[in-house]
């Protein structure tokens, strides 16, 4: 049996420190090695031993989380997960945190229904497991921890036959998770102004997707924004699924559009890549290109196989350029991938395939 993932919780709220410690303690694969009220206390505790993963708040006394993150990543990189609130201005801080080297972003657990808390527990523990297997400079990656059984895309969109296609317009469906924010930046920055319409599921919390989309929109030649229900999929535009909502591709005649909806966690995620890919298989068939990028687990693997079986061209990011080669690796093993490419070569291949 592999050793548990050792986590250090850094947050100025005693309640949050206790809640996160309780959540981590409920998972046999995770061990809370320490908790600290601010970065100075964390450094003191890390003098004796380094954690495998660090969860870090942004707003704290004496030193803010972003400053501490930059120090960690420049001196002795370890996987860091930003754990903050859903405050609007905080989401901009999260964008900076990802640029500074954070592996993932999660929202602090809130008081709610039993189902809500259980979903939060699953997401938080999975984020830690993904971070522990992430590839960082000067950090040897751990073996990925297996995920528990989970719901398939059937929970949102049952399997069905391919609908008749009345257009030659191609839509690109993309799925990513851990490490995906940087991978998507590279991918979308390389897209020409007349790129095919793109729909994206990136595992991240609600409200963060809006800030993430806005950030990409300022640096890309194409338009990038958070998807709204019934948005038309257009050339020169990328729609990113809003956090905590599933996104599906639908068709009405020659028009392709997105449906944004509620639903259970699928493959332990909402939004789910499997849900997006299955809808692309059903409603687009050979008029779709599927791309699966870095991320832990198997979300998107089954959906990509269904896309390929429906005639779509499918691409997976290669292991060398992935932060976590989980999702692409599972899609390859399942037989759903037609081409495996390094990240920097995917944009050109997508444009070529869409022609």
pTM attached to this predicted model: 0.83
pLDDT at 150: 62
Beta carbons within 8 Å of 282's beta carbon, 6+ residues apart: 157, 160, 161, 162, 163, 310
Q: Which residue has the tokens 């309640």?
A: 15
Active-site pick, 38, 126, 298, 299: 299
Position 323 in a domain: yes
**pLDDT tens sequence across 113-161:** 667 677 888 889 999 999 999 987 533 333 333 344 466 677 667 776 6
Tally of domains within the chain: 2
Position 254 in a domain: yes
Which band of pLDDT confidence, cut at 50, 70 and 90, is reported for residue 193? very high
Asked if 219 and 342 sit in the same domain, the reply is yes
Active-site pick, 84, 203, 256, 269: 203
Query: Cis peptide before 271, with omega less than 30 degrees from 0?
Result: yes
Position 329 in a domain: yes
Q: Which domain holds residue 47?
A: 5-132
**Which domain CATH number covers 37?**
3.40.50.2300
Asked if 217 and 349 sit in the same domain, the reply is yes
Q: What percent of the chain has pLDDT over 90?
A: 67
Task: From 97, 132, 167, give the residue that closes a domain.
Answer: 132
Asked if 123 and 232 sit in the same domain, the reply is no
- Give yes or no: 231 in active site: no
Q: What is the mean pLDDT of residues 154-170?
A: 68
Asked if 191 and 73 sit in the same domain, the reply is no
Active-site pick, 37, 84, 91, 177: 177
Asked if 125 and 162 sit in the same domain, the reply is no
Task: From 132, 164, 199, give the residue that closes a domain.
Answer: 132
Which band of pLDDT confidence, cut at 50, 70 and 90, is reported for residue 87? very low
**Which domain CATH number covers 345?**
3.40.50.180
- Give yes or no: 177 in active site: yes
Q: How far is CA 321 from the centre of its chain?
A: 16
Asked if 269 and 172 sit in the same domain, the reply is yes
pLDDT at 146: 39
End-to-end CA distance of the chain: 49
Asked if 170 and 97 sit in the same domain, the reply is no
Least confident of 3-7, 125-129, 140-144, 321-325: 140-144
pLDDT at 162: 61
**pLDDT tens sequence across 197-233:** 999 999 988 878 888 999 999 999 999 999 999 999 9
- Give yes or no: 52 in active site: no
Q: Which of 201, 212, 179 is nearest to 321 (CA)?
A: 179
Task: From 102, 132, 162, give the residue that closes a domain.
Answer: 132
Q: What percent of the chain has pLDDT over 70?
A: 88
């Amino acid at each position: 049996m592999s050793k548990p993932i050792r986590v250090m919780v850094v947050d100025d709220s005693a309640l949050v420190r206790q809640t996160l410690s309780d959540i981590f303690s409920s998972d046999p694969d995770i061990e809370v090695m320490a908790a600290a009220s601010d970065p100075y206390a964390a450094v003191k505790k890390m003098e004796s031993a380094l954690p495998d993963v660090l969860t870090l708040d942004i707003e704290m006394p004496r030193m803010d989380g972003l400053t501490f993150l930059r120090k960690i990543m420049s001196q002795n990189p370890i996987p860091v997960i930003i754990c903050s609130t859903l405050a609007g201005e905080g989401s901009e801080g999260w964008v900076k945190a990802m640029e500074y080297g954070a592996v993932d972003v999660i929202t602090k657990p809130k008081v709610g229904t039993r189902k809500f808390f259980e979903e939060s527990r699953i997401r938080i523990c999975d984020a830690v497991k993904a971070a522990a297997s992430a590839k960082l400079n000067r950090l040897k990656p751990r073996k990925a921890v297996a995920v528990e059984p989970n719901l398939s895309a059937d929970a949102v969109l049952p399997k069905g036959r391919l609908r008749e296609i009345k257009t030659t317009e191609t839509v690109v469906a993309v799925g990513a998770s851990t490490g995906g924010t940087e991978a998507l930046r590279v991918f979308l920055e390389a897209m020409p102004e007349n790129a095919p319409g793109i729909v994206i599921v990136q595992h991240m919390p609600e409200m963060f997707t809006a800030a993430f989309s806005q950030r990409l929109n300022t640096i890309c030649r194409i338009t990038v924004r958070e998807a709204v229900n019934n948005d038309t999929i257009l050339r020169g535009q990328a729609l990113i699924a809003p956090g905590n909502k599933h996104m599906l591709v639908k068709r009405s005649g020659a028009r392709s559009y997105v449906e944004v909806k509620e639903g259970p966690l699928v493959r332990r995620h909402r939004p789910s890549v499997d849900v997006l890919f299955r809808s692309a298989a059903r409603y687009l068939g050979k008029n779709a290109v599927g791309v699966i990028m870095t991320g832990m687990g198997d979300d998107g693997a089954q959906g990509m196989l269904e896309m390929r079986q429906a005639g779509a061209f499918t691409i997976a990011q290669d292991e060398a350029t992935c932060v976590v080669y989980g999702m692409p690796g599972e899609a390859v093993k399942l037989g759903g991938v037609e081409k495996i490419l390094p990240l920097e070569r995917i944009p050109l291949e997508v444009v070529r395939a869409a022609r």
